[in-house]
Structure formats: structure tokens, C-alpha cells
């Protein structure tokens, strides 16, 4: 469903050369020959060669033989053909398609259509294969033999395997918080240019810890065919911070791990999860089993869930998902959570994630739009109100998120079930979703996930398509790695989210007198349990005495920390930068951020140029650029050009100038232009609004080099006399990554 299945064996056949495997992101040339079947194809009939929604294969073009993606299409009988490269004009998940219409004449049995993707005879470098790996990449061929626009898929379509390229970037992953003497692991992988874990590694690695580690070898061998190395049962017997560097035999540092903080007497540990993505049974890539194995074994997640679009999850697939999570859930090693994405139109609630604490529960869909078996249609909840009513007695948790559709939590919200909003994913950054919750006086936590469609849950690069951000991660503050403990975290909002990096973050509010902390939200639960405490953690809800609390923030970044911002709900109340005005150097940072609007076409294009007059550019680097086709295009001593997008997130360019305060910078982009004297720039950002949804350019000066990864910041935060004081922090690293703590909700 929902394509016609009428006599596919009479619709013809298709053959592809070469048949692979091919390297992800490589330039190739393919010939696909379609041979008409017994019915032939009538005048104005057509075929489509379709690929899955998430693919960044191509694009395909027919006009310039010397340019990338040049494609030719010819009929063996001379029929005149009409060709178009289409997106979202085919039934999902086969959203990208080459349409080939029979404009004049027809095809008889045995006639052929020959398609050459990436035809190189005119100088084209070929067509680019999608940038992420797929064990079975299908060129699915659909045939409209009768000119009715009712397509039938061939009984068998050509496939190739897309495999990783050679290693370019190394990753070393540690947990971020463990107790003194507790075992932990170091996980190592190498990624190709597009972020795929590579198995083409033959490398001796030297492991250099920042302090001695029990059980850590001095060197390890990474052999061809391996995707990862995991070193278990490592220990530190004294509190403190740890990083581990990977060096080649020549002493060159390949990478440095994220920080691990070892502390005494821990009430909780940090566990990292990506609970939002899907596989090819719905709209993603590779199988659901491959999806979970990638998250556990190649992204090194502690917690994972599968969130397929509900209107594509058949009864059989729902049972399969439940069997998978039950089989993969392994307390102490890996938590797999059953769930699905309730995927209604925004007008009736928008996307919500549903997570069950136990397998075997019903699926309450938003619709059966792409499911032919209507046996359980009575379970459907077509609006968010109906969903929450259906889930009233279920042992589950919901989140609101923004993907293609976005959640409208002003239309519907249930504080008993919906515990968090997703502020970042591979679709972008959506702080406005948290702001919607504040305006409505909801008490929700912050999560970040990938909503990945490319089979890389937990390490979700956006590739070369319309996705504009690296996928996020959520850190859970739990006493153990079990499903029960993770659900307790979710229900108490004891978590923080990041844009994909792993950092240590601790946020505590200390009232002058003991506070009454509620284990469930007293605004929505009758007579919830409470306890008297002297400190409050992220996610807590508490009644407090007095006019202020002391907020203590401790952050250890995976890169130097640029700033820590403290918010009370919608209001920014403090910005802490771990450097002084006197430390500023010759470095100027330009950032661009925001989106067009909340919906699917939110991507803002920031392609632009920059000119410096009265000064010169000695060096330039781009950050938060995830597409190798974008980035800095041309640079001279006085000018540069770039290609970039934002989808609610932000990116930018750092310039190191010959002198710190001379001359003028002129910037021209699509959304806005600006000219400013460099001497007017300082430590604080100069912002230029650019319309749209929180779109802006900013300019500021930075130290030539930031090095401080550990930052502690303490401040007094006044309490509102009426309603909640909602304290949360946003940490920004100099490499462009961010983290958000779940708010602490305080009322007098």
C-alpha cells in the first residue's frame, strides 16, 4: 500500500550497471535500462525511478553535460520523452523520483528506456551517491502502463550497497559522570568525510590520558573490517576530570575525548540517549534492527528508542518493534524503549513522541493514512486531545517535537503525560517550542534527539540534503541504567539536551531555607508526594521561601566554553563569558541564525559575501557547517564568500584579522546586509535582525584562542512574586555546539 499491485510481473523489468557496492558520497555513473513488459506503456504513460525520502542522491539535471548530475534518457524506439527530477511528488517513502513521461508515441513489449545517471561524456564528474550508508539502496521503478497515473512497482527493482569511505575524523567517547572507582568504558571509531563510521581503518593508536587510568592500555590496534573499538572496565580511584587523547605513532593527535567527571558519593550518573529516529520500514534508512545496533555499537548510546510515523506502522511491524526492544533491552548496558511517533497534522496537535515502559501495549495512531489493514482503526486518536485521552491509563511518557510537522502545544497538552519538548534535532533548533510552554505556564523539561532518517541514530549527520543540523543527544541523570530509572528521569524532567556533543553540565538551585520538592507536578497531580530539600536539580518543581535562590552552574565542555546564559523563562537574566574584554584578540565572529517560519520550508539560505576595508583577513574558519558542498567558497586578504543555511540553529565564520580594531566589515546575504566599523565590535554581540523566525546576523570579537573547558558560575536569582520562576541555562561552546538544562520550576 498504497500503490497499485496489479500484475507487476507484466509491467517489465529493469537492470542496473554497475551494481556496487559504492562509497557513500562518491561520484559515480550508472546505467539503468527499463524494458517494457507485455502491456507496454501507452501514449502519455510514464515510469518513475524513485528513491527514499531521506536520500541526498544527486541532484539530477538534464541541461548541462559538464555539470554534476547530468543525466540522459532515451527510448529505443525513438519515442519523445519528458523528464523531471521531483521531490515529494511521489507517495512516501519513495519521495524523490525521476519522472519519465511518454510525450509522443508509446512503448511496446521489449522496447527500452535507457537512463544514464551521471553521464560523463560531456565532462560531468558524474552523479553523487547518497552520503550515508545503506545495505540495500533501491532504484525502485514504478510503471504507469495505462496512462492512468496509477503506478505499479516492478516485481524486482535494481539495488546497490552503499558503504563507508576511508577514515577522516576520529572520535573517542567517554561517559560524562561516574562515581569514584566505578568501571567505565572508552569507545573509539573513525568516520569518513560524511560522518559514516569507517571499517577501512588499519591504525596503531597511542592512548594518552590526562591522568592515569586503571586498565587503560598504552596502545591499541584498529584493524580493517572493524567499525569500533570499546575498552571496558576502566577505573579512576580519585575524583577529578579525565580526557583521553588518541595519537598516531608519529605523535600527532587525532582527537581528544569528551570530558569524564569522576566524583565521590554520587546519587546519579549520566547516561546518554537518542530516543527519536526511524528506519526503512517507515521513512528512514536500513532496518529497525540495524538502527538499534548502530545506536548501541557505533554511536555508543546508553538509551535508544524507535519513533516511526504511526500511519506507516503496520500491526506486524509494531509487533516486530516490541520484540526488538524486549530482546535488546539489557539493564546495565543498553536500554531499548518501545514507542512510536504520533504524526498528526499541526492543525490537530502536530507530532508527539510516545514511549511505553513495557512492551505489548496498543498503538494509538493519528490515522491509518498508509495502512490498508483497518482492523485496529478504532484505536486511532485523530487529535492530540484524543491521543491523551487514549493514553490516560497507559504507563507511558510523551514529548512534543518539531520535525516536518510541528507540535502545537497551545492546541493540546497533558501535563501528566507530556513531560518534555524537543528543542533540537537534525531538523534544526526549536527553542520557540519551549517558549510556547512557558507562555502557557506548562512545566516541561528539555530534550534533544536526532529525529534521524539516515540510519545513524545517536550520530546523525544531516548529509547533503535539506536537513541543516547535526542531531542532538539527551543526558539522563539516573541512579542506574535501567528502563525504570530512565522513565523516572523522564517523569521528573531530570535531563539536559545538547546539539550532539557530550559535555558535563550540573545546575543546582539553593534556597536560603529548605524547599518543598514535589515528585510530580502539583498543578496536574492530586496530592503528589513531596520532600524537604536544601538543593534543587534541573527539572525539579518546588515551593520555596524567600525572595531569591542561589543558582550554581558547573559545565565541562567537549570544547572551550564561549558563554553561559541564564534564563528565567522567556527572560535572559545573566550572561557569563569566561574571558575579559582585555583578552579580546584579532578574532571576529560572524553568526547567522533562525528560520523562515515554523513549518517544513523553514530553511533560510545565508549564502553571502564579506569584504574588509582598512584591514586584512589572515585566516578564516567556518563552524556548524555540516555539508561539504557549503562552507567558505573563495577567500582573499580582503574578501570571502560562503554558502550556508540555518534551520532555527546557528552557524558562522571566524575571521582572524591583521589588526584588532582597524577598518570596516561589509556583509551581504540574502536575508540582510550590514556594514560596521571593526572598532565598534566588542565582547557583546552586535545583532542585526533579519526577519523571519528569530533570524539575525551577529558580530563580536573573541580572544584569538579560547581554552577554558571547565567553567563554574554562581549567581543570585530573584523569585517572582506570582507564578513560577523558571530557571534554566544554555551553554555555548566555541565550536558551535550548545546544551540546554531542563528548567527548575520554583514558586513561593
Q: What is the pLDDT of residues 237-277, one digit of tens each?
A: 999 999 999 999 999 999 999 999 999 999 999 999 999 99
Q: What does pTM read for this prediction?
A: 0.96
pLDDT for 404: 85
Query: Cell 575524523 identifies what position?
Result: 169
Count CA atoms within 13 Å of residue 202 on its CB side. 1
Predicted confidence band of residue 2 (pLDDT cuts 50, 70, 90): low
The answer to whether residue 1 scores a pLDDT higher than 80 is: no
Select 8-163's CATH number: 3.20.20.70, 2.60.40.1510, 3.40.120.10, 1.10.3720.10. 2.60.40.1510
Count CA atoms within 13 Å of residue 553 on its CB side. 31
Q: What is the pLDDT of residues 316-348, one digit of tens each?
A: 999 999 999 999 999 999 999 999 999 999 999
pLDDT for 527: 86
Q: How far apart are CA 590 and CA 685, in angstroms?
A: 9
Q: What is the CATH number of domain 504-578+708-748?
A: 2.60.40.10
User: Which one, of 413, 444, 398, 435, lies nearest residue 744 by Cα?
Assistant: 444
Query: In the chain, what percentage of residues exceed pLDDT 70?
Result: 100
Q: How far apart are CA 295 and CA 9, in angstroms?
A: 38
* Residues 583-702, CATH architecture: Sandwich (2.60)
Count CA atoms within 13 Å of residue 258 on its CB side. 24
Return the CATH fold of 169-263: Immunoglobulin-like (2.60.40)
The answer to whether residue 565 scores a pLDDT higher than 80 is: yes
Helices 288-297 and 315-328: crossing angle in degrees, nearest 10, is 30
pLDDT for 138: 97
The answer to whether residue 435 scores a pLDDT higher than 60 is: yes
Q: How far apart are CA 266 and CA 81, in angstroms?
A: 69
The answer to whether residue 3 scores a pLDDT higher than 90 is: no
Tell me what the mean pLDDT of segment 725-748 comes to.
Answer: 98
Q: What is the pLDDT of residues 149-207, one digit of tens each?
A: 999 999 999 999 999 999 999 999 999 999 999 999 999 999 999 999 999 999 999 99
Query: Cell 546539539 identifies what position?
Result: 499
DSSP, collapsed to helix, strand or coil, labels residue 357 as coil
Give the contacts of 233 (CB within 8 A, at least 6 positions apart). 183, 185, 215
* Domain spans of the chain, in order of start: 8-163, 169-263, 270-502, 504-578+708-748, 583-702
270-502: CATH superfamily: Metal-dependent hydrolases (3.20.20.140)
Query: Cell 567558497 identifies what position?
Result: 633
Q: What is the pLDDT of residues 387-412, one digit of tens each?
A: 999 999 999 999 999 988 999 999 99
Predicted confidence band of residue 466 (pLDDT cuts 50, 70, 90): confident
User: Which one, of 398, 387, 292, lies nearest residue 355 by Cα?
Assistant: 398
Average pLDDT, the chain: 96
The answer to whether residue 440 scores a pLDDT higher than 60 is: yes
Backbone angles phi, psi at 431, to 5 degrees: -65, -25
Query: 270-502: same fold as 8-163?
Result: no
Q: What is the pLDDT of residues 588-612, one digit of tens each?
A: 999 999 999 999 999 999 999 999 9
Tell me what the mean pLDDT of segment 276-295 comes to.
Answer: 97
Tell me what the mean pLDDT of segment 349-371 comes to.
Answer: 97
Choose the weakest-confidence range: 298-312, 426-440, 455-469: 455-469
pLDDT for 89: 86
Contact (CB, 8 A) for 576 and 711 = yes
Which residues sit opposite 120 in a β-bridge?
Answer: none
Q: How far apart are CA 75 and CA 103, in angstroms?
A: 11
Q: How far apart are CA 401 and CA 482, in angstroms?
A: 24
The answer to whether residue 578 scores a pLDDT higher than 90 is: yes
The answer to whether residue 587 scores a pLDDT higher than 80 is: yes
The answer to whether residue 33 scores a pLDDT higher than 70 is: yes
Amino acid at each position: 500500500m498504497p500503490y497499485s499491485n496489479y500484475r507487476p510481473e507484466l509491467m517489465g523489468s529493469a537492470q542496473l550497471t554497475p551494481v556496487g557496492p559504492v562509497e557513500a558520497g562518491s561520484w559515480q555513473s550508472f546505467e539503468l535500462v527499463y524494458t517494457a513488459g507485455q502491456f507496454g506503456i501507452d501514449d502519455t504513460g510514464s515510469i518513475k525511478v524513485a528513491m527514499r525520502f531521506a536520500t541526498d542522491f544527486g541532484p539530477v539535471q538534464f541541461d548541462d553535460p559538464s555539470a554534476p548530475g547530468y543525466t540522459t534518457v532515451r527510448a529505443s524506439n525513438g519515442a519523445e520523452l519528458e523528464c523531471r527530477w521531483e521531490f515529494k511528488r511521489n507517495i512516501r517513502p519513495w519521495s524523490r523520483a525521476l519522472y519519465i513521461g511518454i510525450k509522443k508515441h508509446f512503448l511496446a513489449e521489449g522496447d527500452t528506456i535507457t537512463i544514464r545517471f551521471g553521464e560523463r561524456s560531456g565532462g560531468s564528474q558524474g552523479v553523487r551517491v547518497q552520503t550515508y550508508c545503506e545495505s540495500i539502496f533501491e532504484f525502485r521503478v514504478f510503471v504507469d502502463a495505462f496512462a492512468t497515473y496509477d503506478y505499479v512497482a516492478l516485481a524486482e527493482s535494481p539495488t546497490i550497497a552503499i558503504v563507508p569511505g576511508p577514515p577522516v575524523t576520529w572520535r573517542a567517547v567517554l561517559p560524562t559522570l561516574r562515581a569514584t572507582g566505578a568501571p567505565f568504558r572508552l569507545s573509539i571509531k573513525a568516520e569518513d568525510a560524511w560522518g559514516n563510521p569507517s571499517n577501512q581503518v588499519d591504525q596503531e593508536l597511542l592512548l594518552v590520558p590526562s591522568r592515569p587510568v586503571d586498565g587503560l592500555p598504552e596502545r591499541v590496534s584498529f584493524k580493517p573490517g572493524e567499525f569500533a573499538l570499546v575498552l571496558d572496565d576502566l577505573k579512576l580511584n580519585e575524583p577529578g576530570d579525565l580526557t583521553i587523547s588518541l595519537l598516531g605513532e608519529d605523535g600527532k593527535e587525532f582527537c581528544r575525548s569528551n570530558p569524564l567527571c569522576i566524583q565521590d558519593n554520587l546519587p546519579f550518573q549520566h547516561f546518554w540517549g537518542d530516543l527519536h529516529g526511524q528506519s526503512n520500514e517507515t521513512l528512514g534508512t536500513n532496518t529497525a534492527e540495524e538502527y538499534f545496533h548502530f545506536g548501541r555499537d557505533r554511536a555508543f548510546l546508553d538509551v535508544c528508542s524507535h519513533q516511526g510515523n504511526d500511519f506507516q506502522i503496520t500491526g506486524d511491524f509494531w509487533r516486530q518493534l516490541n520484540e526488538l526492544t524486549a530482546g535488546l533491552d539489557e539493564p546495565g548496558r543498553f536500554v531499548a524503549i518501545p514507542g512510536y511517533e504520533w504524526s498528526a497534522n499541526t492543525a490537530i496537535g502536530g507530532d508527539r513522541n510516545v514511549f511505553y515502559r513495557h512492551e505489548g501495549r496498543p498503538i494509538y495512531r493519528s490515522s491509518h493514512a498508509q495502512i490498508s489493514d483497518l482492523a485496529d482503526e478504532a484505536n486511532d486518536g485523530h487529535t492530540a486531545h484524543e491521543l491523551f485521552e487514549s493514553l490516560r491509563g497507559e504507563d507511558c511518557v510523551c514529548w512534543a517535537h518539531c520535525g516536518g510537522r510541528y507540535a502545537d502545544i497551545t492546541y493540546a497538552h497533558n501535563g501528566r503525560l507530556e513531560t518534555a519538548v524537543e528543542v533540537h534535532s537534525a531538523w534544526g533548533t526549536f527553542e520557540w517550542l519551549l517558549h510556547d510552554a512557558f507562555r502557557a505556564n506548562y512545566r516541561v523539561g528539555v530534550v534533544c534527539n536526532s529525529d534521524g532518517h539516515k540510519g545513524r541514530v545517536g550520530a546523525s549527520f544531516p548529509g547533503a540534503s535539506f536537513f541543516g543540523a547535526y542531531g542532538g543527544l539527551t543526558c539522563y541523570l539516573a541512579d542506574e541504567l535501567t528502563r525504570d530509572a530512565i522513565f523516572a528521569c523522564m517523569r521528573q524532567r531530570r535531563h539536559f539536551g545538547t546539539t550532539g556533543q557530550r559535555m558535563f553540565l550540573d545546575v543546582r538551585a539553593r534556597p536560603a531555607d529548605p524547599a518543598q520538592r514535589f515528585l510530580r507536578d502539583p498543578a496536574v497531580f492530586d496530592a503528589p508526594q513531596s520532600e524537604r530539600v536544601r538543593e534543587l536539580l534541573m527539572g525539579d518543581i518546588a515551593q520555596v521561601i524567600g525572595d531569591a535562590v542561589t543558582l550554581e552552574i558547573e559545565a565541562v565542555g567537549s570544547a572551550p566554553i564561549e558563554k553561559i546564559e541564564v534564563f528565567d523563562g522567556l527572560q535572559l537574566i545573566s550572561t557569563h563569558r569566561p574571558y575579559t574584554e582585555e583578552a579580546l584578540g584579532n578574532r571576529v565572529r560572524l553568526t547567522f541564525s533562525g528560520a523562515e517560519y515554523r513549518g517544513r520550508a523553514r530553511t533560510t539560505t545565508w549564502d553571502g559575501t564579506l569584504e574588509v576595508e582598512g584591514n586584512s583577513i589572515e585566516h578564516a574558519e567556518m563552524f556548524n557547517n555540516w555539508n561539504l558542498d557549503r562552507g567558505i567558497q573563495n577567500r582573499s586578504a580582503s574578501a570571502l564568500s560562503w554558502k550556508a543555511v540555518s534551520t532555527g540553529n546557528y552557524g558562522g565564520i571566524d575571521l582572524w584579522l591583521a589588526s584588532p580594531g582597524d577598518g570596516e566589515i561589509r556583509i551581504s546575504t540574502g536575508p540582510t546586509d550590514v556594514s560596521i566599523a571593526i572598532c565598534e565590535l566588542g565582547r557583546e554581540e552586535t545583532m542585526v535582525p533579519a526577519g523571519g523566525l528569530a533570524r539575525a546576523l551577529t558580530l563580536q570579537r573573541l580572544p584569538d584562542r579560547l581554552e577554558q573547558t571547565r567553567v563554574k558560575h554562581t549567581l543570585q536569582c530573584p523569585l517572582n512574586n506570582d507564578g513560577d520562576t523558571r530557571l534554566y541555562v544554555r551553554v555555548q561552546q566555541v565550536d558551535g555546539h550548545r546544551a540546554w538544562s531542563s528548567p527548575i520550576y520554583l514558586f513561593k
